[in-house]
Amino acid sequence: MTLSLLDRAFHLLDDACSPQDFTLIFDLCDVPDGERFYAGARSAMNRFPTSACCIARGAWVWRDNRHFKLETNSSIEDFIDRPFDLRREPPVKQLLVLNGSGARLATRFHHAASDGLSALLWLGHQLDVVYGFESPQRDPGRFNVLTLRRSSRSVRRSQFAFEGASDALRTSHSKRSGSRRWSTISFPSLQKFCRRCGGFTYHDLLATCTLEVLRQWNNNCRPGRAKIGLWVPMNVRRQSCKGFGNGTSRIRVYANYHQQTSLVEKCRAVRRQVTWSTKHGEWVVPENPWLEHLPDSIARRLLRGYLQLPNVDMATAVFTHANTSLANASEAFKHIERIECVGLLHTRQNLAINAATHAGRTWLTFTYDPALLTADDVRQLTQLYLEQIAQAS
């Protein structure tokens, strides 16, 4: 199956300083025999055959799921730091760390093959097989062609955007290593608070808290009016909860509101931005014939060069929020006790904040390059976020 435009973009952007993969880490209880995890992974690769493919001549080529390895003897940090080679290995890697009756299951997905929703669908099927809620699929299924939404409107920039690009997140150092480390905080879900206030969603609240944390951080490092923006992935599937692959585009939201207003009013201001960008098609995936048809070596240079232009707004940081109930959550998800998501970082993005809400609790993972931000820097950032959540609570 030919790579989609988004598949190819993530494949071309991948390099040692900016790996284009993400990792979901589940803490599980009541873990059965480890062989069940391998059987569940093989079944998921049959159900979603792109996850058992390699890239050759601009297409996903079936390599059978015998190339998949379930690792057991490694640290999660080392597991995440290893490079992907999609020409020789499938776009999914997995590490199982057993701990008494429980386990940590770390699964890496290369974004050339999968977005966050697809990862949840894949893991949901695997765990359903592991825990006996579903029989394993023995034979490979048909390739899925993911259909994206279209719009007669398409704007490249929000009317709420600052002039020029957003400020980068201030960091202690400037040379990237390509390694990723992470820190996770958790708190009870505040969805009831959002419904009670009205005029915004829980996603809006978490995004607003993120904007406020980034604004405070940059102002503390260099006082002045900071131009803070968030890169916010957005599901653009025609069928919102179906289809394995890349069905995610993005919009951007900004801390472009009166700073003296309440947190609730700031959340409503963010909701207005999301509504405007959705209505006016900032999320529309543009057609790029040169990206589809040029040789990899040329398309890679053009794409990377374009994204490094100073007027291209890559935002201050990445923010995502996933709710497991939105992915037709499997029965087996009730065995999940904790979720972490180690995100990907473009070379112009120094921080990714990935939230996941499951069973009434939200986990927020801060992904960073340890060569740019210190562990103490990240402790300060997480403390600022907890203060925002305390204000909402």
The first and second tokens of residue 25, run together, are: 């880490």
Q: Where are the alpha helices (DSSP H) in the chain?
A: 5-13, 34-47, 76-81, 116-130, 191-197, 202-221, 263-279, 289-293, 296-307, 375-392
pLDDT value of residue 193? 87
pLDDT tens sequence across 85-117? 999 999 999 999 988 778 999 999 999 999 999
Residue 367 clears pLDDT 90, i.e. is over it: yes
Residues 19, 326, 104, CA angle at the centre, nearest 5°?
55
What average pLDDT is seen over the chain?
92
Q: Up-side HSE of residue 330: CA atoms within 13 Å toward CB?
A: 21
Residue 328 clears pLDDT 70, i.e. is over it: no
pLDDT tens sequence across 151-193? 888 999 999 999 999 999 999 888 999 999 999 999 999 998 8
Residue 3 clears pLDDT 80, i.e. is over it: yes
pLDDT tens sequence across 187-223? 999 998 898 889 999 999 999 999 999 999 999 888 8
Question: What gap in Å lies between CA 226 and CA 207, rounded to an integer?
Answer: 17
Q: Tell me which residue of 141, 104, 324 sits closest to 244, measured CA to CA.
A: 141
Residue 327 clears pLDDT 60, i.e. is over it: no
Q: Tell me which residue of 155, 91, 80 sits closest to 122, measured CA to CA.
A: 91
Q: What is the mean pLDDT of residues 250-255?
A: 97
The first and second tokens of residue 127, run together, are: 């765990």
Say if pTM beats, i.e. exceeds, 0.75.
yes
